[in-house]
Structure 1
Amino acid sequence: WGFWKKLGYQYMCGFTARWKYYFIWSISEASIIISGFGFSGWTNMSPAKPKWDRAINVDILGVEFAKSAVQIPLVWNIQVSTWLRYYVYERLVKKGKKPGFFQLLATQTVSAIWHGVY
């Protein structure tokens, strides 16, 4: 097998594997919206329209068309990353100080325990 064929095969395997998460997250988001818990307020446009984005967990186009690897964690597993940022990362930063390596390490450790350490 040539390099490009292996690379293409690897990409297709990853692409296929991601779709199981897209499917499940879309179904869970739809069920939350149908139950009414997905309502997060009104738009500022006139006339005001309801926003149903409280349960968004993945931005599929954001993942698939990310311009760099830095953008992917911002649009993948959004609810867990928001929870980790608020309840772990930001709470470890002291007032008037910049976050450092310890805050990042602690947040990644909690994430590893949350997802299961293998």
Structure 2
Amino acid sequence: MNEEAHLIPLIAERLRVIGAVELQELAEDMALIKFPERFRRGTFERYGKNIYNQTTKGWPDAYVLADGKYDAVEATRDLDWKKHLRDDLKKASEPGGRRLSGFFFVGGCSKPEQKEDVSGWIAPW
């Protein structure tokens, strides 16, 4: 057994109870680490919360604008993350909407027994 194996259940439990703002911040940090070539090529804007650390309306919650196109980051605690994702993609394609070139989405819910096949939603950059 590797040294980090004991961390897996601790991390999983923390992710089950993480709040919406913290999940958004985690998604933003994950995007910056995983895809620095996309999310560090301009000023990374974080808009998903107000000064009281409460989630706010608006889309996207975080993004970088480069070459006239947006790479966006969104996260949700909604159990129906597929609807949230479809709604976000619709916003991106509306006339006058942002010209989306990349999208990093994290869906987290508090029901650990809920397993979803996400393979149809993943597209490589």
TM-score, reference length from structure 1:
0.29
Relative to total residues, which structure has the larger strand share, 1 or 2?
Answer: 2
**Comparing both chains, which one has the higher relative contact order based on Cα–Cα distances under 8 Å and sequence gaps of 6 or more?**
2
Structure number with greater Rg is 1
